[in-house]
Amino acid sequence: MNLYETSALFSQNMSKKQQEKFLNFYKQVFSEYDITTIHDCSIGAGGTTIPLAKLGYRISGSDLSETLLKKAKVNFEEEGHSIELFTSDFRKLSEVLPNTYDCIISTGNSLPHVNNGDVRNFIKSISTKINKDGLLFIDIRNWDKILNEKPVFKARDPLVMTEDEHVSLYQIWNWHDDQSVDFIFVTSIDKKGKHEKTSLTHAPTYYPLKYNDYEKMLNDCGFEIRRCYDVDDLWLNSHKEEIKTGNFKEDFSKVNWYAVLAQKVR
């Protein structure tokens, strides 16, 4: 089963706590820029983007998954915001985007779903749809760190852990020769001490995107990085508190997920 055709991401970042955390984060990121319109090119079910609408930005969105787009419409409406949404592969987005925008975003580690060559083409083509001095904002997993560690198995927090029922979640990383990787999520259900069911959910392939490569692509396509943010606290419920300095470059090898804000300079 493909993760993005299931309901697994329907409520992603929709809790009150996550909405508040993202709202405060985005306030910090965007407040010094004079922007109004933001298009999210991999909006998913929208939970990560709704805080931007709450901050007053004019949001529109697109995504490959019609299942997630349908849910995004409902999620936005339930929070009191209407939104223009349409299906598009972000690699073809510049051909169909109706307007130009002050900012384009792609959140939730979505860009590495396409290979590095396609990321470069995406940046180049989307820059034609970004207004003068406009912004390109993304967040991704720290693929430099992942490639150093090359994990193959991770036990995640159990989804349910009561006396009668255990729902365990495991992540299997299936690495390919070209460095791309497939995530498989394994859910295993035990009831009253007896194994009931194991199910597998596949996320589409990821193509690791390294920081220096991404920075070079941005620079080649007329962007400069304005700031990078450690977003572990937003995206991961890590129990192990890493000791960090607060300086992104110094902390880089300890950061698991980060955001990059770039500005169009030519």
Ligand X SMILES: C[S@@+](CC[C@H](N)C(=O)[O-])C[C@H]1O[C@@H](n2cnc3c(N)ncnc32)[C@H](O)[C@@H]1O
- Residue from 18, 60, 94, 107 binding ligand X (CB under 6 A): 107
Comparison of 66 and 250: residue with beta carbon closer to ligand X: 66
Measured CA to CA, the distance from residue 126 to residue 40 in angstroms comes to: 12
Measured CA to CA, the distance from residue 147 to residue 143 in angstroms comes to: 6
Residue 103 half-sphere exposure, CB side, CA atoms within 13 Å? 25
Question: Quick check: 121 binds ligand X (CB under 6 A)?
Answer: no
Least distance in angstroms from the C-beta of 75 to ligand X: 10
Comparison of 64 and 135: residue with beta carbon closer to ligand X: 64
Residue 136, Cβ neighbours under 10 Å: how many? 23
Comparison of 62 and 263: residue with beta carbon closer to ligand X: 62
Q: How many residues of this chain bind ligand X (CB under 6 A)?
A: 22
Question: Quick check: 44 binds ligand X (CB under 6 A)?
Answer: yes
Measured CA to CA, the distance from residue 197 to residue 167 in angstroms comes to: 10
Provide the total of helices (H) and of strands (E) in the chain, helices listed first.
9, 11
Question: Quick check: 38 binds ligand X (CB under 6 A)?
Answer: no
Q: Which of residues 51-90 bind ligand X (CB under 6 A)?
A: 63-65, 68, 89-90
Give the list of residues 6+ apart from residue 265 with CB closer than 8 angstroms, or none. Answer: 133, 222, 223, 224
Measured CA to CA, the distance from residue 10 to residue 8 in angstroms comes to: 6
- 38 with 105: CB under 8 angstroms? yes
Piece of the chain touching ligand X by CB under 6 A; list 5-13, 26-34, 145-153, 221-229: 5-13
Least distance in angstroms from the C-beta of 108 to ligand X: 3
Which residues sit at the interface with ligand X, rule CB under 6 A? 4, 9, 12-13, 42-44, 47-48, 63-65, 68, 89-91, 107-110, 113-114
